[in-house]
Chains A and B, each alone.
Chain A
Amino acid sequence: MATPAALPPLPFNPRQVRSYLLRLPLFTRLVLLVILAFWLLELQTIWSVVQWGSLTPDECNLGTMYRLNTFPLIHTGFFHALLNAMALTPLLERFEAEHGTLTSIALFIGPLSTLPAGLYLLIEKMILHSNTPVVGASVWVFLLLGSEAIRTFKTNPYFSVGPYKIPTWTSPLFACVVLSILVSNVSFLGHMCAILVGYVFGLGYLKFLVPPEKVLRWIEGKLNLLGRLPHYVSVDQKTYAAIRNLRNNPNLLFVRLPNLLSLLCIIVGVVWLLLLPLNEYSRHTYISENALLPGQVHAYFSGSEQHIFRGYKQELEGLLSEGQNGIEARDQAQLTPAISTKIQSVLEAAGLKVATQKYQYSSAGITHHGENTYGIIHAPRGDATEAIVLVASWRTANDELNLNGVTLALTLARYFKRWSLWSKDIIFLFTPDSKSGTQAWIDAYHDLHPASVQPLALKSGALQGALVIEYPFEHRFKSLHIVYDGVNGQLPNLDLFNTAVAIAGGQMGFGSNLQEMWEHDDSYEARLQTILRGMAKQGLGYATGAHSSFMPYHIDAITLQPTGEGWEDEMALGRTIESLCRSLNNLLEHLHQSFFFYLLMQSNRFVSIGTYLPSAMLIAGNFTIMAIALWMRTGYHADALSTKTTESAKPKEKSSEKNSDAGKPAEISGPAVAERLLALPLTLVTGLHLLGLVPLWLFNTLPHQFFTLATYAFVAVDIVLPLLLAALLANGSGLTSALVPQQYLLIKSFALLLLGLSLSTLATLNFSLSFMIGLLCAPLSFVSRSHCPSASKRRACASMGLVSLNLLSPPTVLMGVCWYAGVSVEAVLTQAAFGWDVWGMWTQVVIWCVWWPAWLIGCVLLGASIF
């Protein structure tokens, strides 16, 4: 019968019980068997087994010492036997599993029966002068309970019942009392004796009775017990031993091990990334989508089309020179309305449907506006369901005049119109710049544009791909530079990149570059450099060209930039684009076959997400490991952790004496469970993360001329704020009492937990950003409030730490990178604000709401050692 899913499953599973019983070890079985046998023996009336075997104080003399051993095995009735057996089985089974069969036999035949019995006899006969016979296995039950209780006490000293704390070692006493009250005819004294012996055993004072392992092993070996006896638990098989060892050494478990693991994670993560360029870890690229067939068609764009190209170019240049004579002025030429009108008229003459779109964005106090012009070639037999976009920006991504690119697009528009084989509409988009024009257009295409952007008058179907044409110089080119990074590190389908590489290399016969690696010698260093450049672009997440804006809409796009001095002219670039369009035209489905997550190290080698992801995940994982360890560590009193180690080294010493200098009196030995004071750490961590919204807002709304000043101000804030917070926390400041060490650990734990969580999630979306932030935050795993007893030493350490951490603060890193790259901080921040306002860039959020709060908390912890 199926149980309804809403009900909890049966707590009692007969199958489990059966398998449990079948797995009982040897000695437990023997004991149960003997109990059963004695019970059966009692069924006859001739010979009273109970009278024979019970522990009767008066009957005990040297001749009847056997009673000291037989009494636990004999019961007065079926229910007595059954209940005792049921109570005993799990305890005894566990004991045997821990200590081995031989030890169990030795202990239970010997001291663990005779000691409680002797104690009982002593008290009953000598002190109480009465003669109550006792019988039954309950003595073992209570003995084992007693020893278990001591062990529990070591790890978990108190029950909390309301305000009262009850030591856990009293639990068998309670059981004993309750049992005595509930069940009649129960020997309270006998049970108490057993518990007492159990305590003594649990505290380890009876260890001398345990036969030495050597002897046991010798016996085992000689008699081949393991081979002969079923269910025999060997000495070597003693489970739990190693775990118990670890459990008994919390310093190793909670302090040293996590540090080691975290460090290992970071090192392995970095080494992993360094391994990727090797042939063993990377792969050759390949065309996954069969429909693309790159370079399988002849490209006809040549001959008289070049005359038309020159004609168009002359026409556009004529419009340029009206106000802009001279080379320098020409390089600054903007897309004037006259040029826009000319582009429209050329497109209209070629038979395209033409429309324009005005847009305006303002960001960081700068207004960007312009007018896009676009024309659509209707697929001759198509029905406006799919389209390809060709983009030519008037200014390239590097802000050069893209006159040849625009002219080439116009010539191609006229040329493509004649072909009847297009299965998709082709849209020619002319934008004034590479930053905002395409963004305005693609937003409006999906009807997601802000009010300052005009809607589109003309539309087509679902966009399948986009190519951006750049040709910003007059000379002939040598190879094709393919730019593929999108906003927020999104990448186009690898098939599109591969198609471009295959067409440039195979059909056109010129090479292709990526990531501005002009001299790629296929060495390890060059590959690694390419990967790192790609990661830097991906991590920063800015738009690297006009194509980047397409990526958030799941439209694969690349920019084609001719580079170098060579023999190829604009017609070769035109043929490349023609061939690429023909390949895209072949597509039956949206590009989906190949990878969307990859790192390219060369135009024909890549690593896919499965190979590179562990690298960032390990680094993010280091924070999580540390956070969990800290959380567990805060469950104990800090001093208990340190004393436990010394205690295990010298078990004879009393720990209470050693704790006096730690400031908190420790009442008991062993690790003490501490209550976590969560309120303040949680508030602080949440508050600091929310505080990140302030710089996020500031750096995205300030006018651009204040950016440099704001950065310097933030460096200062980053120096002062942690110290201020640390002083507040350390002195309490009247709001709260001063923080206890546990709270510092908790603060760190929460901060690292959030960091690890965010970074591991981020790694699946933007691997590079997660990796970069992870590396910059790596020291935060290891900084904490120092425990150095000497105040001066502590202060020196903390100050050194603070200085070095301040070198890794977000504003300092920003300034350092800007200085290294030779760009101004203002330019970078203006770009970032533009990205936030227009492109929908999320890098700032990660920096200010993930990185900065974690960094701040690290500094606060360090600063707290000063006060």
Chain B
Amino acid sequence: MTVSSILSLFLAIAVSLWGSATSASSDYHEQLFLEPLPQSSLLASFNFRGNTSQQSFDNQHFRYFPRALGQILQHAHTKELHLRFTTGRWDANSWGSRPWNGSKEGGTGVELWAWIDASDDEEAFAKWITLTQSLSGLFCASLNFIDSTRTTRPVVSFEPTGNHPNASSLHLLHGTLPGEVVCTENLTPFLKLLPCKGKTGISTLFDGHKLFDAAWQSMSVDVHPICSSDGDCTVQIEQTVDMVLDIERSKRTRDNPIPRPIPHEQLVCDTSKPYTSEDTCYPLEKGTDMAWSLNEVFGRTLNGICPLTDSNDLSVCLRVPHEKSVFTSQGASELKQDDGFTRCFSLAETEPFDLSIPEQEVHTKPPLDEPILHAERTIVGHGQERGGMRIIFGNPSETNAVDFIYFESLPWYLRPYIHTLQATITGPDGVRREIPASDIVTETFYRPAIDRERGTQLELALSVPAASTVTLTYDFEKAVLRYNEYPPDANRGFNVAPAVIRVLDGENAQPIYIRTTSLLLPLPTPDFSMPYNVIILTSTVIALAFGTVFNILVRRVVSVEEAEALQAQTLKARLVGKVVALRDRFRKKDTKVE
């Protein structure tokens, strides 16, 4: 049993519960799943799910469904919506496979994809823009920056999760903002969408300080219709928050958050070393997991259960070995499950709930399942003009090949040369071999970029043999931007959105998604103080040179005697002046002074 399968199990239970309660037009469930991970980390996975019937949704009768979001969806004719806010990175080597099989997380920053009901592409895009603008306001995120250059239409990477009767008129649009920083201003609107709004239930544990101190966290909003065979449809909204907290860091009190060196009396030293003494210490790292409680880790206790949920719901679950003792506060009952690792708690309705695990020696550890695929994407090469992309796929399985779709959307200023796509494979024997890319890539969908209009869209169907590592590389060229296209922090580099990998694991199984980390692309950047310098320099040169030359050209240099002689000729000068004046008047011109 794994994190993801456990979560899926809960989902199945929930769905069965929902199935039993299908007579009710709407319902609401929430669940918290906790699992200590290696290296003193704690995975906390929050799930909130509300249903409303399609009829009441259409008539704008909202109960569990947030009205603000529902109206936006109706206005933008959006039938299915997926919105992700993610920071940090999932450390697959230490933590195993991803929660929800990666289906509830997005790439770093903000990721949004939706199926929009429209007659043609243009209309769909117009509605998409409406949707992003509205969501931007709702979630306090820069979603309005998802323009045509950041919008793609993936072909095979995403499938609708809901049931859509008129699937033919639906358009899938996908947009990412890899540079968006997710923070508390996004959490507050997220909480407001919940029926209990963070006042009661598991959502009371959300504290911005702790949530955004997590090593990895992902917030998601999914809206999709679910139809039964007899044609009754409900609209389901599912919100999840997954985070991996560093227990040691989270336990630091807010008034003393600095990890100062501890007093030397408290140092845990390896006394087996002969040199260990008063002032010499080889640190001994602890073999046991750290003690923690909800209150310590989240900074607050769980404030009862949300009254809108079924009181029989097992809303808090914990995955630790059964032999480990767990203390809970009064009023909560524990239910251990058969797998030997999972236990769930039903909470008292109004009592605050806390859960604490003391430090203890336990010999069994819940198994971590190996991720089905490792993916790493980096930019290689250096210089202002060209670079290369290198993507490494590792298949840890000894027996099965992995088939998957690799999807990346590149900004237009990164111009890939697809003809340079090369593949190397390192088999189980550890020998690197160059192979034609077509041996690995079974299908390619490539839509090239148009400068300043749309980005590159690349979808590859790949297959990595068992116990092998495949490296794909291609070269790219960096475009030179116009000076007004650079952001204020141009020298930081430009974010390239993470690639999305969809593993095709059987026909009916839940899709598995993996996302790579986002990349920073350094572009040729002008020295922005240079225009200023150039303006100053040229102005000076022009002022000096032009001034002098003009002066020389115009001025008549005469000696003093000559000047007197000039003045003596008053009669002639007067005459000439009068003639000039007369002529000018004749020509109806203003008198000019030479």
Does A pair with B?
Answer: yes
Convert B39-81 into 0s and 1s, putting 1 for each residue whose CB lies closer than 8 angstroms to a CB of A. Answer: 1000000000000000000000000000000000000000000
Whether the Cβ atoms of A224 and B380 lie closer than 8 Å is no
| Residues of chain B in range 207-251 having any CB-CB distance to chain A below 8 Å | 212-215, 246, 248-249
Partner of A314, one of B39, B214, B258, B282: B282
Whether the Cβ atoms of B493 and A314 lie closer than 8 Å is no
Residues of B within 8 A of A448 (CB): 380-382
Nearest chain B residue, comparing its CB with the CB of A381: B88
A307 CA to B89 CA, complexed, in Å: 33
Whether the Cβ atoms of A300 and B258 lie closer than 8 Å is yes
Convert B478-516 into 0s and 1s, putting 1 for each residue whose CB lies closer than 8 angstroms to a CB of A. Answer: 000000000001111101000000000000000000000
Whether the Cβ atoms of A304 and B264 lie closer than 8 Å is yes
* Interface-side segment among B193-201, B269-277, B363-371: B269-277
Using known A-B contacts A314-B275, A381-B215, A382-B88, determine if residue A304 contacts B281 with beta carbons closer than 8 Å: yes
Tell me whether A590 is interfacial, beta carbon within 8 Å.
yes
Whether the Cβ atoms of B382 and A353 lie closer than 8 Å is no
**A-B pairs under 8 A by CB, number:** 142
Using known A-B contacts A383-B87, A589-B491, A589-B492, determine if residue A349 contacts B273 with beta carbons closer than 8 Å: no
Residues of B within 8 A of A304 (CB): 261-264, 266-267, 281
Tell me whether A315 is interfacial, beta carbon within 8 Å.
yes
Whether the Cβ atoms of B273 and A311 lie closer than 8 Å is yes
Using known A-B contacts A378-B91, A382-B88, determine if residue A311 contacts B264 with beta carbons closer than 8 Å: no
Tell me whether B378 is interfacial, beta carbon within 8 Å.
yes
Whether the Cβ atoms of B282 and A380 lie closer than 8 Å is no
Tell me whether B569 is interfacial, beta carbon within 8 Å.
yes
Whether the Cβ atoms of B569 and A446 lie closer than 8 Å is no
Distance from B116 Cβ to chain A, minimum over Cβ atoms (Å): 29
Whether the Cβ atoms of A314 and B522 lie closer than 8 Å is no
Tell me whether B542 is interfacial, beta carbon within 8 Å.
no
Tell me whether A20 is interfacial, beta carbon within 8 Å.
no
Convert B269-301 into 0s and 1s, putting 1 for each residue whose CB lies closer than 8 angstroms to a CB of A. Answer: 110010110011111010000000000000000
Most chain A CB atoms below 10 A, which of B215, B380, B382, B562: B382
Residues of B within 8 A of A303 (CB): 260-261, 263-264
Whether the Cβ atoms of A311 and B275 lie closer than 8 Å is yes
Partner of B489, one of A228, A414, A554, A589: A589
Whether the Cβ atoms of A383 and B89 lie closer than 8 Å is yes
Distance from A301 Cβ to chain B, minimum over Cβ atoms (Å): 7
Tell me whether A433 is interfacial, beta carbon within 8 Å.
no
* Interface-side segment among A83-91, A254-262, A415-423: A415-423
Tell me whether B162 is interfacial, beta carbon within 8 Å.
no
Tell me whether A302 is interfacial, beta carbon within 8 Å.
yes
Tell me whether B518 is interfacial, beta carbon within 8 Å.
yes
Whether the Cβ atoms of A383 and B566 lie closer than 8 Å is no
Partner of B39, one of A311, A351, A459: A351
Whether the Cβ atoms of B276 and A462 lie closer than 8 Å is no
Q: Main SS of the interface on chain A?
A: loop
Residues of A within 8 A of B87 (CB): 381, 383
A305 CA to B281 CA, complexed, in Å: 9
Convert A272-304 into 0s and 1s, putting 1 for each residue whose CB lies closer than 8 angstroms to a CB of B. Answer: 000000000000000000000000000011111
Nearest chain A residue, comparing its CB with the CB of B39: A351
Tell me whether A219 is interfacial, beta carbon within 8 Å.
no
Tell me whether B437 is interfacial, beta carbon within 8 Å.
no
Interface size class of A (residues with CB under 8 A): 35 or more
Using known A-B contacts A384-B89, A448-B382, determine if residue A305 contacts B261 with beta carbons closer than 8 Å: yes
| Residues of chain A in range 302-329 having any CB-CB distance to chain B below 8 Å | 302-308, 310-312, 314-315, 318
Nearest chain B residue, comparing its CB with the CB of A417: B259
Whether the Cβ atoms of B246 and A301 lie closer than 8 Å is no
Distance from A151 Cβ to chain B, minimum over Cβ atoms (Å): 28
A228 CA to B248 CA, complexed, in Å: 99
A415 CA to B260 CA, complexed, in Å: 9
Tell me whether A226 is interfacial, beta carbon within 8 Å.
yes
Residues of B within 8 A of A305 (CB): 261
Partner of B285, one of A227, A349, A461, A590: A349
Residues of A within 8 A of B490 (CB): 589
Using known A-B contacts A310-B281, A381-B213, determine if residue A446 contacts B382 with beta carbons closer than 8 Å: yes
Tell me whether A553 is interfacial, beta carbon within 8 Å.
yes
Nearest chain A residue, comparing its CB with the CB of B498: A383
A414 CA to B281 CA, complexed, in Å: 13
Distance from A338 Cβ to chain B, minimum over Cβ atoms (Å): 16
A381 CA to B517 CA, complexed, in Å: 12
Nearest chain A residue, comparing its CB with the CB of B215: A380
Tell me whether B421 is interfacial, beta carbon within 8 Å.
no
Most chain A CB atoms below 10 A, which of B282, B376, B525: B282
Residues of A within 8 A of B518 (CB): 383, 385
Whether the Cβ atoms of A380 and B249 lie closer than 8 Å is yes
Convert B547-562 into 0s and 1s, putting 1 for each residue whose CB lies closer than 8 angstroms to a CB of A. Answer: 0000000000010011
Residues of B within 8 A of A447 (CB): 378, 380-381, 388, 390
Closest 7 CB pairs of A and B: A447-B380, A311-B282, A589-B491, A418-B259, A304-B264, A310-B280, A303-B261
21 residue pairs of the A-B complex, CB under 8 angstroms, read: A224-B565, A227-B558, A228-B569, A303-B260, A303-B261, A303-B263, A306-B279, A307-B267, A308-B281, A310-B280, A311-B283, A318-B275, A351-B39, A380-B213, A381-B213, A385-B493, A385-B495, A385-B520, A447-B381, A462-B522, A592-B491
Besides A307-B269, A380-B246, A414-B283, 13 other A-B contacts (C-beta < 8 A): A301-B261, A308-B283, A314-B275, A315-B273, A349-B285, A378-B215, A382-B88, A420-B213, A420-B259, A446-B380, A459-B376, A589-B489, A590-B522
